[in-house]
A and B are shown apart, each in its own frame.
Chain A
């Protein structure tokens, strides 16, 4: 590893994307959905060599979304991409708003082939399609499953517990 203290912090202003900071001090970018691959590519070229994670969030029924910067319209779904720069030893997170009416995004497979599995998981769990993904199929649920389990309007299954009167154990 080279000396990392000299690594210049990423100038996020150049990307033209609203920036916030999370409670842990990590940089969060809020690109427009269409610009996601472009921003990720710029970050990759700036030293963010690994895409650690792609995950979805369903904000259905969430009351306040005031952690979003001005200019970003809150939508029901959000796709969260975490990138890692080993040189600068920091992560950056991208939060993309995905409307419920048209849950589609462009895939990041061409930039990071490692997003293949996580994107399939988001597709499976939230029903968000990634255009250009090589294998947009369910990954955790059975192929013929209906519904997207991690959506907030998908009920949690409950098995009712039946109690018996004391003494009647047979």
Chain B
């Protein structure tokens, strides 16, 4: 084992120095800063710019942030523990509440892990519906980012526009899944229901205006001097730092490092679709903003291809062990009724084993590590939440920046605290 700290990207990850303030909560009340002119202040957890309940301990030198420690756990509700008490069919209702801005990705990772343990092969339509829903969800999640990022930087009209467009996407998701958020739509074995009549027209009616409005966002923000001034060169990380810290998703891509699971380790049917992996150059907040804006465009491109290629067939696997009998049969067959009852009360048994499956969520690699002991509930269900890992980059982005930039930087990391704390 090497004794020297790894020097990646010029910055040293040492145990005592560096931009990470290592101070416990109780110590922070009485702690003395590392230099007499510095002071330690709290930002959050009840702060409008911290995206929920993120608390930052900042060591300040005047207006400049020297060291920082994110304190999390305020939304911890023990969802991984709850996951051990729910059957595999109930599991998606639990994990969908982790990343509430992109709930379908959590359901997808959970379902993919379960299906790998079961050895299920999905019918093509189920796979394509999943892709359609995930790309729509990616659009709504990135629109939410555009809205909150605008709000954090004082572009209040952007906030209203972002929420407005996001709401339109959510309305479509509601039409398809029954709920605006926390859909519980992607389930082990396929999806909960087939797409409703007229879904093609609904999707097209949604996509056409959003494409135009993205151009409006560009006109409103991208070229605007104040916007650029506040974002360019702010919160810079290098690719080497991202790799060392485990950071994935738009933050890793903003450094110019092309890595997207959809492209490089395709799951579902992404290898059949054409899209670009959007990469930045400088690894700053502006690149992260631009990447997310352009990923909406790529998602629209993907959804149009999915509309073209959506295959006919079953929307869930016809495996009697996993799939309840169709509603019509329950009225005429006692066995079907018993079968239906058994699946929803006892659940189905999953062969013993352990597996890790990951998908590219709007925030990075979202993985599900699942251990089964052969029963109908997982022995262990762990979600590798991208926001949880990405938050580690925050002290490195904040180092040497002004407090006013902290808001822009937190926003550009786009943490979802439900996923961070689980």
Contact = CB atoms under 8 A, between A and B. Distances in A.
A24 interface: yes
Interface in B220-252: 243-248
A113 B380 CA distance: 25
Nearest to A86: B259
A69 interface: no
A142 interface: yes
Please classify the interface of chain A as helix (H, G, I), strand (E, B), loop, or mixed, using the class held by over half of its residues: loop
What 10 A-B pairs come out closest when comparing CB atoms?
A114-B246, A134-B15, A113-B13, A114-B245, A140-B73, A37-B1, A53-B384, A140-B76, A135-B22, A24-B116
A128 interface: no
Interface in A38-62: 38, 41, 49-53, 55, 57-59, 62
B352 interface: yes
Given A1-B258, A52-B246, A114-B247, A143 B367 contact: no
A149 B379 contact: no
20 contacts: A1-B258, A22-B356, A50-B243, A52-B248, A52-B367, A55-B384, A57-B380, A64-B352, A91-B356, A93-B356, A112-B6, A113-B6, A113-B13, A114-B244, A114-B389, A114-B392, A117-B389, A134-B15, A141-B73, A149-B81
A52 B1 contact: no
A124 to B, nearest CB: 8
A39 B352 CA distance: 27
A17 interface: no
B367 A53 contact: yes
A156 B379 contact: no
B274 interface: no
B382 interface: yes
Interface in A78-92: 80, 82, 84, 86, 89-91
Given A59-B379, A67-B354, A149-B78, A118 B243 contact: no
A110 interface: yes
Contact of B73 (A66, A89, A139): A139
Given A1-B264, A140-B72, A24 B356 contact: yes
Given A50-B243, A117-B391, A110 B24 contact: no
A146 interface: no
A75 interface: no
Interface of A: 1, 22-24, 26, 37-38, 41, 49-53, 55, 57-59, 62-64, 66-67, 80, 82, 84, 86, 89-91, 93, 95, 106, 109-118, 121, 125, 132, 134-135, 137-143, 149-150, 154, 156
Contacts of A143: 24-26
A41 B2 contact: yes
B217 interface: no
Interface in B368-422: 369, 371, 373-374, 379-380, 382, 384, 388-389, 391-392, 421-422
Given A41-B2, A156-B82, A55 B382 contact: yes
A67 B352 contact: yes
B352 A52 contact: no
B87 to A, nearest CB: 15
A117 B392 contact: yes
Contact of A89 (B20, B76, B264, B374): B264
A142 B22 CA distance: 16
Contacts of A113: 6, 13, 244-245, 392
Given A52-B365, A64-B373, A82-B356, 20 more contacts: A1-B258, A1-B264, A52-B358, A52-B367, A57-B354, A66-B352, A91-B356, A106-B1, A109-B13, A111-B1, A111-B2, A113-B392, A114-B392, A115-B246, A116-B392, A134-B15, A141-B73, A143-B26, A149-B78, A156-B84
A95 B353 CA distance: 13
A82 B384 contact: yes
Contacts of B72: 139-140
B356 A26 contact: yes
A22 B353 contact: yes
Nearest to B257: A86
B280 to A, nearest CB: 16
B76 A141 contact: yes
Contacts of A149: 78, 81
A22 B391 CA distance: 30
A150 B81 contact: yes
Contact of B1 (A110, A135, A138): A110
A150 B80 contact: yes
B355 interface: yes
